[in-house]
Each structure stands twice: as C-alpha cells, then as structure tokens.
Chains A and B, each alone.
Chain A
Amino acid sequence: MVKWSDFERAAIQDIFSKIDYDVVGSAALSRCLIVYPWTQRYFGSFGNLYNAAAITSNPKVAAHGKVIMAGLEKALKNMDDIKTTYKDLSVLHSEKLQVDPDNFNLLGDCLTIVVAGQLGAAFTPEVQGAFQKFLAVVVASLRKQYH
C-alpha cells in the first residue's frame, strides 16, 4: 500500500484545486501527441493530427483531455487505493486499447510540464515530488492488469 504524508496529500489536493480541468488534460494530451508523435497511433479515429496547430485545435483531443482528467480525479478521491479504483481502466488499456504502458509515463511527463506552467513558482521542488509520486502510483495502477 502506498503511504502518503500529510504534506503529500495536501500538496496533491492543492494542485488539483488550482488547475483548470478544461485546459490541463487537453493541453497534456496535445503535448504528448506533438512531442512524442508515435502516440498518435492510438488516435486513428480523431481526424486531423497532422501538425501541432491541428492537434491543439482538435475537438476530439480536447474532449479526451477531459476524460483523462475525470480519471485522475477518481484517483485523487481514492488516494489510498488507486490500484483497485483503476482495475477496470487498466484492463481496458491493456486488452481493448492495447496501449504500450511506457506511454503512460510520457503522458505523465507532459502533465507535469503543463501543471508546472500553470502553477509557476508555486510548483516548488517538494510539490513536484508529491505530484510525480502521485503520477507514479497512477501509472503503476494502470500497468497492474497488463500481463
């Protein structure tokens, strides 16, 4: 079981209370598709992803960004058992979507950069540490049902 310090719980809750859900998920997914272009292979039905401008203005990318944030919020509300909370999501990504789990880390990295940009100086080293620990647990939970 993951142990969270009081600081970590507070820092993570605080981040999520400050970030704009409508923007962050979509911005992170866009960056992932732009910076790591091979991830586009999972989004064949999303239409035009041919360049950065197309990706950042693609409405399906924006919509999916919100889906991702909803998923993260579930983890936030169940921080003491993200593994169980994410069981079905993990099965979905493994069996149906067949996502290479290394890509979870890439999206996590993009999320961190977007949050850093939104929070600026408030994204201190300790806050970064707490957030990256949260993402590491999320990623491990998403990987859990892969064989």
Chain B
Amino acid sequence: MVKWTEEERRIIRGVWEKVDIDEIGEELWARALIVYPWIDRYFGSFGDIFTTTAILKNPKLAALGKVVLSALDTAVKNMDNFKAMYAPLSRQHYEKIKVDPDNFRLLAECITITIACKLRAELNPQVQATWQKFLSAVVEAMNSQYK
C-alpha cells in the first residue's frame, strides 16, 4: 500500500469534503462518454446514450456515477488498506464486466476535471498533485486483480 503523509491525508479529506456525491456523480459518466466515446461499449443496457443530450439526461448514468463515488468514499475513509478492500471490485471489472483497465485512468481524469470545475482555484497545484496521487492508488487497486 501507498504511504501517505499527514499533509496528504489532510488534503485528500479536504477535497473529498467538498464533493457532493449526487452533483458530481451526475456529471462524471457524461464527461467520460462524451470525451471518450468508445466507453459506450460497456453501457449496452443503459438505454439512449447516443447523443450528448441523451447522455446528460440518462438516469442510469447518474446512478452509476454515485456508485463510483461511493466506492471512492470507501477509499478516502480507508486510505491505508483500500487496496485489499477493492479486490472484489477489481475482480468484478476483470472477470464479469471485462473493462479494459486503461479506462480506469480515463475515468480518474474525468473525476479530477469535474472536481476542478467545482473547486476551481482551490484545486491548486499542490492539491492537484496529492489528489492525483490518491487516484493513481485507486486505479492501481482497480488493476490489482487483472492478470
């Protein structure tokens, strides 16, 4: 597991406190699907995701956004051992959903951009660096059960 300084823990909690899971969750998948459209191959059962308008209004995507951020909440609350906690999630994405793990990085990027739009100047370079270190650890945890 990654080692965290007290300062880094404080910064990550500080960012996370400002994240409204409902609000950010809604935007998250919209950004991913619009900016990286090949991701729609994983969303066959989500109904209409074929236009920007449809994507922005799709309730299943909004719901999935909240699922993702709830999982991230688990990581924030268990910064020293979330890798083990994420093993079943990683296995599910590998064996059942069959997600190309490159997409974890792209979704993480979309999370950071959504947060940047919300936090603006508060996501200063130091905060950005720490937050991205945290998301890299999350992405690594998601990759852990891939062979």
User: What's the interface size class on B, roughly?
Assistant: 20 to 34
- Which of A35, A123, A126 sits near B129, CB closer than 8 Å? A35
Q: Are A119 and B117 in contact (CB under 8 A)?
A: yes
Q: Are A121 and B117 in contact (CB under 8 A)?
A: yes
Give bound CA distance, A111 to B132, whole Å. 15
> Does B89 touch A at the CB level, under 8 Å?
no
A125-B121 contact, Cβ under 8 Å, with A31-B128, A35-B129, A116-B116:
no
- Please give, as numbers and ranges, the residues of chain B lying within 8 Å of A118 by CB-CB distance: 120
Closest to A28 in B: B125
Give bound CA distance, A136 to B48, whole Å. 27
A132-B35 contact, Cβ under 8 Å, with A117-B116, A119-B117, A121-B117:
yes
Q: Are B34 and A129 in contact (CB under 8 A)?
A: yes
- Please give, as numbers and ranges, the residues of chain B lying within 8 Å of A128 by CB-CB distance: 31, 34-35, 113
- Please give, as numbers and ranges, the residues of chain B lying within 8 Å of A52 by CB-CB distance: 125-126, 129
Closest to A109 in B: B109
Q: A51-101: which have CB < 8 Å to B?
A: 52, 55-56
Q: Are B35 and A129 in contact (CB under 8 A)?
A: yes
A31 to chain B, nearest CB (A): 5
Central interface residue in B55, B56, B128, by most chain A CB within 10 Å: B128
Report whether over half of chain A's contact residues are helix, strand or loop; otherwise say mixed: helix
Apart from A35-B132, A126-B52, A132-B35, what 9 extra A-B contacts exist at CB < 8 Å? A31-B125, A31-B128, A34-B126, A113-B113, A117-B120, A117-B121, A120-B117, A128-B34, A129-B35
> Does A112 touch B at the CB level, under 8 Å?
yes
Can you list the 3 inter-chain pairs with the closest CB atoms, starting with the nearest? A116-B116, A125-B34, A35-B129
Closest to B129 in A: A35
B12 to chain A, nearest CB (A): 15
Q: Are B123 and A117 in contact (CB under 8 A)?
A: yes
- Which of A55, A112, A113, A125 sits near B52, CB closer than 8 Å? A125
Q: Are B35 and A125 in contact (CB under 8 A)?
A: yes
> Does A141 touch B at the CB level, under 8 Å?
no
> Does B145 touch A at the CB level, under 8 Å?
no
Q: Are A56 and B35 in contact (CB under 8 A)?
A: no
> Does B139 touch A at the CB level, under 8 Å?
no
Q: Are A123 and B117 in contact (CB under 8 A)?
A: yes
Closest to A112 in B: B113
- Which of B31, B116, B120, B129 sits near A125, CB closer than 8 Å? B31
